[in-house]
Amino acid sequence: MILTKPLRLHPDRLFPSDPTTRDIARRLYATVKDLPIVSPHGHTDPRWFAYDEPFANPADLLIVPDHYVFRMLYSQGVRLDELGVPTIDGSATESDPRAIWHRFAANYHLFRGTPSRMWLDWVFAEAFGIDVRLEPETADHYYDIIDAALKTDAFRPRALFERYNIEVIATTEGPLDPLDHHRAIRQSGWGGKVVTAYRPDPVLDPDDPKFIDNVQRFCAMAGEDAGSFAGYLRAHEKRRADFRAAGATSTDHGHPSAFTANLPRAEIEALYARVTTGPATREEAELFRGHMLTEMARMSIADGMVMQLHPGVHRNHNDAVRARFGRDKGADIPTAGEFVQALKPLLDLYGNDPRLTLILFTLDEDVYSRELAPLAGHYPALKLGPPWWFNDSPEGMRRFRERATETAGFYNTVGFNDDTRAFLSIPARHDVARRMDCGWLAQLVAEHRLEEDEAFDVARALAYDLVKAAYKL
C-alpha cells in the first residue's frame, strides 16, 4: 500500500497571518476572486484557439514548453534532452512522455517555496481535481488522471478559456508572422476574444543574427523598399495596421536596455544603411534600437497602440544550451536597469502627451522607488507594469506595492498580466495576484491608512478595471 500525502490549497493562502488583517483580506478577496480574467500580454499559442485541438499529454502540456519548470530541473543536473526539449539539429531527445513525467515527479521537491510550485499545485488541485501530492509514488496516478482529462472536450483550449472566465487574452507575434491563426480564430465563429500584440524586435535589433534578412523579408511583406529608411518606417506602419486588424491594441519591446534616442534624419538614415548592409557595432546596435523606440512612440500616438517596454535581460546566457536547444530555454538572467537618463530623449518628445501610454517593466527591483515610480508619478505617458518574470511571485508582488505605491499610487499602475506560455497557469497566476493585492490593501486598512470602502474600489481596479483601461481592451 502506497502512503500518500494530501494536496490541499488552504483558503487563506497568501493572506496576512494577523487575524484582523486576514479578515479584511478575506472580505476584499471575496469581491474580486470571480471577476473575469483580462490577460493583456502573454505568449500562449494562438493555434490552440484557432483549431481547438486536444493537448497531447501531461508532459507536453506542463513540462516540455515551460522554461520555469525545466530551468530548475536543469540547475540540478537533469539534462534538457531527458525532458524532451527539442534540439535545433533534430537530434534525439526523450520521446516517452510518461518517462519525462517520472523525472519531473522525482524532482518535484526542488520547487518547494517557488511560485512554480504554487501555480502547479493549483493546476493539479483545481483543474484536475487531484487530492494527493506529486511524488515518485504518485507519478503514474497523476499522469493517468491528467492524460485522461486531456482526451475530453472539457480540456480543449476553448473550453478551458471559457471555464476560467477569460474575457480576453493577448498573444504576442513577431513582425514576420502572417497572423493566419488569428485570422482562423475570427473566421471560426467562436466567441472567445483572442487578440495579438506587435513584437517588432527581430527587425529592430541589429544584434539579431538574422536581422538583415529579417528586414528584407519584413519590407517585402509590406511591399516597401528595404533600401530606404522611409520605406522601412512605412513597413512598420503597414504591419501595425495588419496587427490592429487582428485585434492588437499594444506593441511590445524586449530590448536589452531602456535606452532611447532622437537622431536627426540624416544620421538615422546613415545608421540604417550601415546596420542593414553589414555587421553593426555594439554602439550602433544600441543607438538604432534607441531611436526606433522613439519612432515606435510616435507611431503609437498616431495609431493608438499601447507600448510595452521589457528591458534588462541578458537573454540566452548559456551558450552551450543555446547552441543545442535554441533561444528561450531558461538561461535568461536579469541585469541592472537605468531609466531616468535612458528614457529622457523619448520623454522630451512625447512624455507629456496623454495620447501615448508607455508601460514600463523591470527585473531590477532597486529602480522601483528610485526611478520608475517617480517617473510614472509625473509623466502622463508613463505607467508601471506589474512585477515581471523573476519578480512574478508573492514576495515580488509585495515588494512592488511597498516600493511603488507611495510615489506612483495605484492608478499609475496597470493591474496584473501573467506574461506566460503555460495556459493553465493563467488562472493560478491571477489568483495569486488578487490574493496578494487584497493582503496589501488589508494592511493599509488595518493601519488606518485607507478606508475599507476605498480598499474595495482599489481591489477591483487592480484585478480588472486598470488593465482594461491601460490596454484599451
- Work out whether the CA dihedral 442, 444, 449, 450 comes out positive or negative: negative
Q: What is the mean pLDDT of residues 260-281?
A: 97
Q: What is the pLDDT of residues 301-315, one digit of tens each?
A: 999 999 999 999 999
Distance from the Cα of residue 411 to its chain's centroid: 21
Q: What is the pLDDT of residues 32-77, one digit of tens each?
A: 999 999 999 999 999 999 999 999 999 999 999 999 999 999 999 9
Q: Which three cell numbers stand for residue 350?
A: 512625447
The candidate with the shortest Cα–Cα distance to 22, out of 409, 453, 445, is 445
Residue 436 in contact with residue 397, Cβ under 8 Å? Answer: yes
Amino acid at residue number 27 = R
Q: What is the pLDDT of residues 208-267, one digit of tens each?
A: 999 999 999 999 999 999 999 999 999 999 999 999 999 999 999 999 999 999 999 999
Residue 171 in contact with residue 45, Cβ under 8 Å? Answer: yes
> What does the angle CA 469 – CA 472 – CA 473 come to, to the nearest 5 degrees?
95
Residue 277 in contact with residue 223, Cβ under 8 Å? Answer: no
Q: Which three cell numbers stand for residue 185?
A: 480564430
Reported pTM? 0.97
* Mean pLDDT rounded to a whole number for the chain: 97
Distance from the Cα of residue 7 to its chain's centroid: 28
In 10 A of CB 290, how many CB atoms? 21
pLDDT tier at 26, thresholds 50, 70, 90: very high
Question: What percent of the chain is predicted at pLDDT more than 90?
Answer: 99
The candidate with the shortest Cα–Cα distance to 236, out of 198, 179, 180, is 198
- Work out whether the CA dihedral 213, 219, 222, 223 comes out positive or negative: negative
Q: How far apart (Å, rounded) are the C-alpha atoms in residues 56 and 422? A: 14
pLDDT exceeds 90 at position 4? no
